[in-house]
Structures are given as structure tokens and as C-alpha cells.
Amino acid sequence: MTDTTQWIPVALSTSIEPGTSAGTKVHGDEYVVWRDDRGKPHVWEDRCPHRGMRLSFGFVRGDQIACLYHGWRYDSAGQCRLIPAHPDLDVPKTIKVPTFAVAEAGGLIWASQSQDADPKTVPDLPDNLFSVRSLYVDAPLDGCRDHLAEVTPPDMEPAELTALSPLCLQRTAAGSMLVIAFQPLSPDRTALHILVSASADSQTRAHLAIWATGLRFSLENSFARVA
């Protein structure tokens, strides 16, 4: 059973600019990750309560998001505030988008299905990590995590491995740190969000980006063989 208080990484911070939105998945469910104009991140169910349009296709307006289809607007608590076809209507409180708890740490946006999730349990990471990339891999979460626990990335020999949470591994070597956060998109698809310490030089960052591309192929090949 899924732990609803677990913090799940849903995007690299740098991938969601203020005033933008993007769709993603967690355990097969559609989520919208959006950032208001002041930079605050929000993670909601990606479905407009009117006719089900994805809110990730919508437009951020200040601290609200407007649906692409008929323009219904939702405030930062998910409450519908405006129905353009009926501008004077006092919108019923029942018209609301389910929202998730959100935290931002270590260059990642984290979400929890439970509003009671403890922010102190978000993995403790420095805020100045450099985003290498997000990889979308056709392989299950457990397989990706086991594989990443075994391999040592380039320029990090010998490295020490620490599990900061069930969804976040950290490797440290002299002077540098690599973080891999795992997002379970569906039972057989996983996103790997890869970050490195800001002090890593440009050559190390380039090596990691190349390594990550090869990593996706090796993971997908090994799970294609098993299937």
C-alpha cells in the first residue's frame, strides 16, 4: 500500500518557471505542477472540475490558474473563483480542485497526498544543487533504485551511498555530491531527477549528462530482457 504521507519528487525546481505549469504523473495519476507569479509551487490533481480538461494546459494568472477550455479560474487553494460565462455568480464552495501538500528543497519540488505530511521529513539537501536533468525511463521504481545503488557515476570513485528517503539516494565523494530522486510515474515507468553539487565543474556536469543518457538505455534494456 502507498504511504500517503510520503514526499514524492515531482519536478526539478528549474523546470517550472514562475507563471508556468506542467503535467506529470504519480502512480498513474495525473498531476499538474504549477508556479504562481510570485514563484510559489503548487501541485494539484490535473483535472478541471467542469469538464475534465487538464489544468496543466491552462494559464497562470497571478496566484490563480485558468482552465484552457472555458476559463474557469482557481485560486491557490484550488477553489473556483470565477466562471467567465457567469461573472456575477457566487461560485459554490464545492467547485474545488483536489490539492496536495507541497515542499521545495534541494532543487526539487516535492508533493504529498496528505496535507498532514511533515515538512521535516523532506530529504535534507542543500538548496544550491545544480540540476543535471530529469530522465524518463521505461522501468519500474524498484529496479531503477536497485541499479542506482550499485553503479558509481563518473568522477565519483570511491563514493559513499546514503538513502535520504525511499525515493532519494545521495552519493558523496571528495568535494562533490550527486543526488538522484525517484518519481514513480506508473508501475513500469519512473522519472529520475538528477542533481549535483554546485561546486562540480563543467567537465563533471558534462560527464554526468552523458552518463545519464547511457543509464536510461541500460535500465530499459535490462528490464526489457526480464519482461
> Which residues sit at the interface with ligand FES, rule CB under 6 A?
48, 50-51, 53, 67, 69-72
Residue 78 or 107 having the CB closest to ligand FES: 78
Nearest approach, Cβ of residue 83 and ligand FES (Å)? 8
Nearest approach, Cβ of residue 102 and ligand FES (Å)? 22
Nearest approach, Cβ of residue 80 and ligand FES (Å)? 9
Residue 58 or 184 having the CB closest to ligand FES: 58
Nearest approach, Cβ of residue 71 and ligand FES (Å)? 6
Residue 56 or 165 having the CB closest to ligand FES: 56
Residue 58 or 106 having the CB closest to ligand FES: 58
The cell for 54 is 487538464
Instruction: Compute the residue count for the chain.
Output: 227
